[in-house]
Each structure stands twice: as C-alpha cells, then as structure tokens.
Amino acid sequence: MAIEVQPKASIQGIIGFNAWRNRISVAVKAEAKNGQANRAVLHVMSKTLEVPSSELTIVFGHTSRQKSIRVSSLGIDDLLDCFHRALETSS
C-alpha cells in the first residue's frame, strides 16, 4: 500500500487520502530521525488495520515521506474496509 507521511504532526493517525499522489496520508508525532517516524508509521498502521506490527514491512521509502508498506496477513478487500472505517472516523 502506498502512503505519505507527515512527521512531527500534532495528531497521529490516518488523516486522509491524497488523490493527486494516490496515497494514504498518515500523520505521526515522531520526528524523522533514526527511524522514529518509521516505527510510528508502523504503529499507526498496526492499530488502524488491527494487525500485529510484525505483519507490516516498509518495502520502499525508508528515508522518504512517500512509503510503500506490505501487509502480510490481509487481502485487498480487508485493507479497503479498514481504511474506509479509519477515514470515516477521521472526518
């Protein structure tokens, strides 16, 4: 799944969908130093998708705001359902 990260945000969670970049927007409170923001992203995604963080892997963009994350235990339909619920809650 493609996401974009907003580090050092005042809130933490799924904040929307960037249609122009075709990415899910994720805000984290952590700074982008020493992997702190990456760990925070995995934590947010773990809570949102209700899966252990061990089932999530950043496969692209370790040092970029634009990242690709692999979820080993969910299919596309389950992912879409989780994101729809998260976006409804954030609105």
Greater confidence (28 vs 79) lies with 28
- Number of Cα atoms under 13 Å in the Cβ half of residue 35: 3
Q: Which CATH superfamily is domain 2-90 in?
A: YggU-like (3.30.1200.10)
Q: Would you say residue 74 has pLDDT above 80?
A: no
pLDDT per residue as tens digits for the range 3-56: 999 999 999 998 888 899 999 899 999 999 999 999 999 999 998 888 888 989
SS3 per-residue string spanning the chain = CEEEEECCCCCCEEEEEECCCCEEEEECCCCCCCCHHHHHHHHHHHHHHCCCHHHEEEEECCCCCEEEEEECCCCHHHHHHHHHHHHHHHC
Q: Would you say residue 90 has pLDDT above 70?
A: no
Within 10 Å of residue 54's Cβ, how many Cβ atoms?
A: 10
For the chain, what are the domain ranges? 2-90
* Both tokens assigned to 55: 């089932």
Supply the pLDDT for residue 91. Answer: 55
CB 51 within 8 A of CB 29: no
